[in-house]
Amino acid sequence: METNNPFKSGATPRVDVIPPQYAGLPSDVVEELWELPVMIDPTEYAMAMKNREQSLGMLKKWEFQRENKQTEQLTRIYQGLSLEQQKKFSGAQLQAGQRVIEHIQERNTLDVVSREEQHVLAKLQLAYREFKTAHPSDAFTFELSQDIDRKIYANLVQRLAFHELAIMQTRGDQEKIKQVRNEAGLLSQTETPIDRERYLDWPYAKKMNDLARDLYYTLSTTEKEDYKKRGIGVAMALLLYIPFGRRDDWPEKNMSGEQATSKEDCIKAVLKVEAYLKERGLI
């Protein structure tokens, strides 16, 4: 009787015969679910087993290549961090690890995870539930038995650590801006934290610069002296550095090889000009 068996006797061994219903599943799941059809011919069965093993072997090899590639990408990202960010990274890793543990304990949910990460986390959640059922008062510890699962878990924590680092950076920037605005007398008790992006945005900085420049030509001699004494002209000069800065990768040196103006100095300059224009009723 003719069948749709792809492992017919005498066929060349293939590595692309994983049944389509298992496409995209982790190799350990495919290995568990993939059952060969009943075969009477022992040669045909041997060929089917050989193809199955080869296909699973190729799938496992691809999984390691995928995770190794991600590890390399995460390493390059880390190497691109500033020294200050690298010092903070271990703290970000601890925060990321805690988030994963809370997900395993079903105390929160990680939203952005891949299918393979979901699979590893589901294993750990099951292990956690079974452990707590048997030992409700003991602390849960785990050790992943498969190498691929350990790599997936390590990459997940590392990837989440960059997300935690970004959160830490944003909080730090907000605190710096809040301090600067407080020093400039601009922060009221009810004011919400200021978005740093607006102050490092060239169109906004250019608007402040243009308004202050146009205002200067309308000032009296006494007002111009006050303008200079308060450093508005110097602040305007600092605004011109903003279009050359990159928010996420601020240059350490300028085009002349000298120390570049820092983000904080540019933010202070924008705030100073903004405060002056507010006093004059222009914004």
pLDDT in tens, 81-98: 888 888 888 888 998 999
Per-residue confidence (pLDDT) for residue 176, from 0 to 100: 58
pLDDT at residue 24 tops 60 = yes
Percent of the chain with pLDDT over 70: 73
- Residue-wise pLDDT tens digits, 69-78: 989 988 988 8
Mean pLDDT lowest for which of 113-127, 140-154, 247-261, 265-279? 247-261
Return the structure tokens found at 100: 């994963």
In DSSP notation, 41-99 reads: -HHHHHHHHHHHHHHHHHHHHHHHHHHHHHHHHHHHHHHTS-HHHHHHHHHHHHHHHHH
Return the structure tokens found at 114: 């891949």
Most confidently predicted of 23-37, 80-94, 121-135, 158-172: 121-135
pLDDT at residue 35 tops 90 = no
Cβ 235 vs Cβ 272: under 8 Å: yes
Q: What are the C-alpha distances in Å from 79 to residues 27, 83, 278?
A: 32, 9, 43
Mean pLDDT of all residues in 268-282: 82
Distance CA 25, CA 241 (A): 51
Q: For the chain, what's the residue count?
A: 283
Per-residue confidence (pLDDT) for residue 19, from 0 to 100: 83
Per-residue confidence (pLDDT) for residue 260, from 0 to 100: 58
Mean pLDDT of all residues in 154-179: 74
Sequence-distant (6+) residues with CB within 8 A of 6 are 14, 17, 51
Mean pLDDT of all residues in 5-32: 68
Per-residue confidence (pLDDT) for residue 188, from 0 to 100: 44
Distance CA 61, CA 247 (A): 39
The CB-based long-range contact list for 160-165 (8 Å cut-off, 24+ gap) reads 160/96, 160/99, 160/100, 160/110, 161/89, 161/92, 161/93, 161/95, 161/96, 162/74, 162/77, 162/92, 163/96, 164/92, 164/93, 164/95, 164/96, 164/99, 165/81, 165/85, 165/88, 165/89, 165/92
Return the structure tokens found at 180: 């600067």
Phi, psi of 253, deg, nearest 5 = -125, 150
Q: Which of 245, 248, 246, 237 is nearest to 270 (CA)?
A: 237
Per-residue confidence (pLDDT) for residue 121, from 0 to 100: 92
pLDDT at residue 16 tops 70 = no
Mean pLDDT of all residues belonging to the chain:
77
Per-residue confidence (pLDDT) for residue 173, from 0 to 100: 55
Cβ 54 vs Cβ 13: under 8 Å: yes
Local structure of 154: helix, strand or coil: helix
Per-residue confidence (pLDDT) for residue 80, from 0 to 100: 85
Percent of the chain with pLDDT over 90: 16
- Residue-wise pLDDT tens digits, 256-271: 455 556 777 778 888 8
- Residue-wise pLDDT tens digits, 176-222: 555 655 554 444 444 444 455 567 777 778 788 878 877 776 676 77
Distance CA 52, CA 13 (A): 9
